[in-house]
Amino acid sequence: MTNKNNQHVFRLALLLGLFSTLGPFTIDMYLPAFPEIVKQFETTASLVQLSLTACLLGLGIGQLVMGSLSDVYGRRNPLLISMAVYVVASLACAFSPNIGLLIAFRFVQGFVAAAGIVISRAIARDLYSGNELTKFFSLLLLVGNLGPLVAPVTGSGILSFTAWIGVFIALALLGIYLLMMTKWRLQETLPSDRRRPSNFVQQLRNYGSLLRDRQFVGYMLAQGIMIAGVFAYVSGTPFIYQNIYGASPTVFALLFGSNGISLIIGSQLVGRMSHRVSEHAFLLFGLWLACLASVTVLVVAIVHGPLIALVIPLFFFVAAIGITSTAAFPLAMESQGHMAGSAAALLGVIPFLLGAVVSPLVGIAGEDTAVPLGVIILLTSAAAMLAYFFLVRRNLRGAA
């Protein structure tokens, strides 16, 4: 590949990666403000965590809708409309008068932010396949995974000079920037002759066809259940680090953001070594690493070990997510070029729907214990492993 082509690929990955970061920024940027929001609305930690749950539900359901729409109307127009609505929803969150409306607007914000995630991945599948898709997806994740690294630190920085509403105003500004990028920099990658018919029944059939594909479902569940465990970590660590271990919002942001590095390490390991090690081998390695790390987290939580003893296994747990996500996505998408948007939507919706379920459970025993976090990420790691062995591994052996 020539230098010019390499530069073009990197610029495209950078642009699509920016759209992918919209999800992490929407989820993570306000996390350091959780205790402040509890005080502002005179509410409970569980209700504030419910605003995260609403956002995750929006991100999940939104991917199903936006993925289908992008197969029908192309990639660019749904993205344009979504970015415009995202700006309005972010401002509505900033000026919500009570926790109920904040929860409602967070759902809308997540719903339209989903377009950035699912459509960027569908565009990648429009342009690449096979090993080239794995390499490009790892490059896209290199940019996209900066979101979890930068978002909480940015949120903490904003909170150092303004109230929590400043976080949502900043998200509105990010939405304006992405709207302009969509308008002036993004080209359509799905020509009209390759689009699916605008038929609701047919869209349901597309999803039904995907869900009858055992291997696709296996990859989808292995990836999705694992990422659901990360959402438990996202929901629980603001209280665990700050309330149990006494970390300041800045220290929390640095600790939380450090796991963005582990995501990048995991995803880039797969991308750079995919020509030597198969995606299947990486996926299995990531699943075992997650199980080992989650067992360690649970033990540390039970004995109330020091903060560093909790941070280290969580670092490896999140690295395992980077490995499994990067390996599972191209494996699942390889044979789905004719309905890449719908396939990308299903791959995206499961993590957010499951994450919406597990996020509030982290606080079920109160704000002074990390045991529920350990239990949840161990269960999700084990469930992802079972999904892989029963739906993917068994099917591959049968085909052989």
338: domain CATH number? 1.20.1250.20
Domain presence at residue 75: yes
- Per the model's pLDDT, the better-predicted residue between 37 and 150 turns out to be 37
Domain presence at residue 195: no
The whole domain housing 335 covers 17-185+203-399
**pLDDT tens string 348-375:** 778 777 877 877 777 665 667 788 888 9
Domain presence at residue 337: yes
Q: Say how many domains are in the chain.
A: 1
Domain presence at residue 2: no
Domain presence at residue 119: yes
**Residue 293 near residue 317 (C-beta atoms within 8 A):** yes
**Does 230 have pLDDT greater than 90?**
no
Domain presence at residue 351: yes
**pLDDT tens string 150-194:** 777 788 788 888 888 999 999 999 999 999 988 888 888 888 777
Domain presence at residue 24: yes
Which residue has 């919406």 as its token pair?
356
Domain presence at residue 88: yes
**pLDDT tens string 80-135:** 999 999 999 999 999 999 999 999 999 999 999 999 988 988 888 788 877 777 77
Mean pLDDT of the chain: 84
